[in-house]
Structure 1
Amino acid sequence: MKIMLVTSAGGHLAQLLPLDDWWRAHARSWVTFRRPEVEAALASEEVTWCYFPTTRNIPNAFKNLLLAWPTLRRFRPDVVVSVGAGVSVPFFVVAKLLQIHTVYIECFDRITMPTLSGRLCYPLSDVFCVQWEEQMRYYPDAINIGPIL
């Protein structure tokens, strides 16, 4: 299986790294921000650097939408997996257009309020996961996988 992991830096990336027993068993590619700590964490990985900042930044959302098309077509993943934030939305839109499966994991630290990216990706997700029972209130069709961290 080929996986594309799409994530913001910091805590979002930190939520995907503990899943390495799973993602290391597959061909994979990452999409994230070029930051020193990210370059160190993903030094041996294939990475496409996306445009930052993304949260409520319309010009960069558009740039990332334009980046998503050739990136997804080149790697041709079986599934796109994301924990957010804003960079997930354009990649999920293009993934749906290309009929690529999508899995979204709502953030660990947003227990009582949904994230903007989560709300936008929920209808675009083939599988939507939450980490807390309280998050099911906003995403009734989600799967509660429990805390990753």
Structure 2
Amino acid sequence: MKVMFVTSAGGHLAQLLPLESWWKDCTRQWVTFRRPEVEAALIGEDVTWCYFPTTRNVPNAIRNLFLAWPTLRRSRPDVVVSVGAGVSVPFFLLARLFGIRTVYIECFDRITMPTLSGRLCYPMSDVFCVQWEEQLRYYPDAINIGPVL
């Protein structure tokens, strides 16, 4: 299976790394921010660097939309997986357009309020996962996978 992980750096990326037992045998590509700690965490991985910052930054959202088009067309993943944040939205939008399955995992630390990217990606997700029972209040069709950290 070909998996594309689209994620912000820091805590978002940190929530995908513990899932290695699931993704280690998959062909994978990462889309994230070029930061020293990310480069260190993803040594030897196929990484496409996206534009930062993304949270409520319309020009970079547009740049990431134009990045998503050739990246998805070239890679043709079976599924796009994200924990957010803003970079997930343009990739999910085009993944849906291309018929690529999408999986979103709502952030570990947003228990009582949904994230903006979660709210935007929820209707575009084939599978939407939460990590806390309380998050189901905002995402009633989600699957509670429990904390990944």
Scaled by the length of structure 1, the TM-score of the pair is 1.00
1:132-147 aligned within 5 A: 132-147=132-147
Structure 1 segments, 4+ long, off by >3 Å, are none
Q: Which whole-Å CA distance do the structure 2 matches of 1:93 and 1:102 have between them?
A: 10
1:22-33 aligned within 5 A: 22-33=22-33
2:31 aligned counterpart, secondary structure: strand
Q: Which whole-Å CA distance do the structure 2 matches of 1:65 and 1:21 have between them?
A: 30
Aligned to 2:114: 114
2:83 aligned counterpart, secondary structure: strand
Aligned to 1:82: 82
Equivalent residues, number: 149
* Cα offset, 1:108, TM superposition: 0.1
Q: Which whole-Å CA distance do the structure 2 matches of 1:22 and 1:28 have between them?
A: 11
Cα shift readout 1:44-93 (whole Å, capped 9, x = no counterpart): 10000000000000000000000001000111000000000000000000
Aligned to 2:6: 6
Q: Which whole-Å CA distance do the structure 2 matches of 1:40 and 1:128 have between them?
A: 29
Q: Which whole-Å CA distance do the structure 2 matches of 1:31 and 1:148 have between them?
A: 20
Scaled by the length of structure 2, the TM-score of the pair is 1.00
Aligned to 2:61: 61
Amino acid aligned to 1:111:
I
> Percent of pairs identical after alignment?
83
Aligned to 1:129: 129
Q: Which runs of 5+ in 2 are unaligned?
A: none
RMSD value over aligned CA atoms? 0.3
1:120 aligned counterpart, secondary structure: helix
1:121 aligned counterpart, secondary structure: helix
Q: Which whole-Å CA distance do the structure 2 matches of 1:19 and 1:147 have between them?
A: 11
1:32-71 aligned within 5 A: 32-71=32-71
Q: Which whole-Å CA distance do the structure 1 matches of 2:68 and 2:96 have between them?
A: 11
* Cα offset, 1:9, TM superposition: 0.1
2:44 aligned counterpart, secondary structure: coil
* Cα offset, 1:12, TM superposition: 0.1
Q: Which runs of 5+ in 1 are unaligned?
A: none
1:4 aligned counterpart, secondary structure: strand
Q: Which whole-Å CA distance do the structure 1 matches of 2:143 and 2:102 have between them?
A: 14
Amino acid aligned to 1:140:
P
2:134 aligned counterpart, secondary structure: helix
* Cα offset, 1:120, TM superposition: 0.1
* Cα offset, 1:133, TM superposition: 0.1
